[in-house]
Amino acid sequence: MSKGKIREMFPGGNTSQGFFSYYDYILRQEKAVKIFCIKGGPGVGKSTFMRKIGYEMLDMGYDVEFMHCSSDSNSLDGVVIPSINVALLDGTAPHVVDPKNPGAVDEIINLGDFWDEDGIRKNKEAILEANKEVGRTFRRAYRYLKSAYSIYQDNEEIVESCCVDKAKVNEVSEKLMKELFGDKGIASYEGKDRRLFASAITPKGLVNYLHTLINTDRAYILKGMPGTGTQRVLQKLKEAALERGFDVESFYCALNPNKIEHLIIPDLQISFTTSNLYHNVDIKDSIEINLDEYLFSSQLEKYREIIESNSANFDHLLDIVIKTISKAKKIHDLLENYYIPNMDFVSVQECFEDTLSRVLKYAREKES
């Protein structure tokens, strides 16, 4: 039996709007067979628990999606086995997840059932203070990030308002829609839009998993400086696909969670990715579309000094953001020292084995 394939992404992110969650899009309630909401404190083994389930299913030939944590990209916030519509999610702050349809769809697995409460309570004051400091540090990071985004927006506005030929960009959108959809008309139903992040601003810097996502038969790479219209092109294509009944996967910007950067239309085996200084992917036989070709060079030259200054200031602030998030992670890691010694990991392992057997039962039901 061949191993399954891995796709990796982020369900939430550290953005200019603070922590932003697309957790509701991980696995839709109406589609899900089972969603396990894993509860417990730092260091109790939630990520390891989910990762082990994921790799067990991979070894059995199932494709698996690993949902990474933006505040620690080595840690998992979720695992999805798409072919059987089963997911395990970290249900703790800042992305609190509770059952929406208890029993029918989702349920809680509380790893806190396996800790020594008395041992943890001895460190109550230290835990409270560490949690407060983590919160303060993240809020500081988000203020820096909001400031950085304001500078980024200034460059976007300069280019969009007077430096790019929007009519030419519209022609690109129109040509792509004809290539993708031809004469296919509006469907009697609308496709589903699944929203997530392919990249994140993490303690390790800018991290993306595009190489695990952009693997369709046909792939387009959109290039263009901020403001040239890559988002507008992708938004038009997404809306056209949904209107024609195609499900899509939309991956949003780590800085601005309302800005689409990558689009996959699985049924057409077509994907679009935005390539820039902060994220790119090497795709064999891809089709490149460079919107910088439609810039007015004379106008751009007029604002070049401002644009370059803005870019330098943005990068400086982004570096401060990353260092601040890294500091928050180090403080959060200290919290694990209060929990790990007070955990009954033998019981956690028994819970894992029971959960795995249930996941396998759902897999058998799907196959029968």
What is the share, in percent, of the chain residues with pLDDT greater than 90? 95
Is the predicted pLDDT of residue 194 greater than 90, yes or no?
yes
| Mean pLDDT rounded to a whole number for the chain | 97
Q: What sign has the CA pseudo-torsion 63, 205, 44, 134?
A: negative
What is the pLDDT at residue 94?
A: 87
Residue 289: CB atoms within 10 A of its CB come to: 18
Through-space distance between the first and last CA atoms of the chain, rounded to whole angstroms: 19
- The answer to whether residue 284 scores a pLDDT higher than 90 is no
3-state secondary structure 214-261: CCCCEEEEEECCCCCCHHHHHHHHHHHHHHCCCCEEEEECCCCCCCEE
SS3 at position 285: coil
Q: pLDDT band for 354, please (50, 70, 90 cuts).
A: very high
Whether 361 has a pLDDT exceeding 80, the answer reads: yes
- State the average pLDDT over residues 353-362: 98
Sorted by sequence, the CB contacts under 8 Å of residue 5 that are 6+ apart come out as 63, 64
Query: Residue 306 above 90 pLDDT?
Result: yes
Domain ranges of the chain: 6-115+343-367, 164-295
Is 2 a residue whose pLDDT tops 80? Answer: yes
| pLDDT, average across residues 295-321 | 98
Across residues 242-255, what is the average pLDDT?
98
How confident is the model at residue 281, as a pLDDT? 82
Q: Is 189 exposed, middle or buried (0-12, 13-18, 19+ CB in 10 A)?
A: exposed
DSSP lists the bridge partners of residue 33 as none
C-alpha 245/C-alpha 191 separation (Å) is 4
Sorting pLDDT into bands at 50, 70 and 90, what band is 367? Answer: confident
Token pair, residue 27, equals 């696995």
Predicted pLDDT at 96: 87
Please give the single-letter amino acid code of residue 49. Answer: F
| Positive or negative torsion for Cα 217, 220, 221, 226 | negative
Give per-residue pLDDT as tens, 125-175: 999 999 999 999 999 999 999 999 999 999 999 999 999 999 999 999 999
Inform me whether the pLDDT recorded for 107 exceeds 80.
yes
